Amino acid sequence: MIGWLKKLFKKEEQEDPTLIWGILSSEDHYEDGFSMVLRISQSGRVYDARFWFNERADAKHIIEHFQETMKPLELDMKEYELVR
């Protein structure tokens, strides 16, 4: 009975969100698209990662966010492919 109650009230383990902390650099590659090096944190680690966008307008959301605030931006990694 106690085991059942513990399972009932057990908090679901949640994965740490991936956060963007800032833009380190950006480059326009004309035909290839637009790239940005972003400072991100994921699973307790902080590192720099290059993100590629097909259109500059796709990156504009991130640029505008950091022009308005210094708060980190949460990134849904389901929408991106991690390439190492």
Q: Is the pTM of this model over 0.85?
A: no
Number of domains the chain is built from? 1
The answer to whether residue 63 is domain-embedded is yes
Q: Does residue 84 sit within a domain?
A: no
For residue 34, the model assigns a pLDDT of 87
Name the residue range of residue 69's domain.
Answer: 16-74
- Residue 19: the pLDDT is 92
Is residue 8 one of the residues assigned to a domain? no
10 in any annotated domain: no
Cα 8 to chain center, whole Å?
A: 32
pLDDT digits (tens, 9 = 90+) for 18-54: 899 999 998 877 677 788 999 999 888 999 998 888 8
Quick check: is 2 in a domain? no
For residue 11, the Cα-to-chain-centroid distance in whole angstroms is: 24
| Residue 57 maps to a domain | yes
Residue at 46 is within a domain? yes
CA distances in angstroms from 61 to 6, 34, 53, 55, 74, listed in the order given: 43, 13, 12, 12, 12
Q: First vs last Cα of the chain: how many Å apart?
A: 47
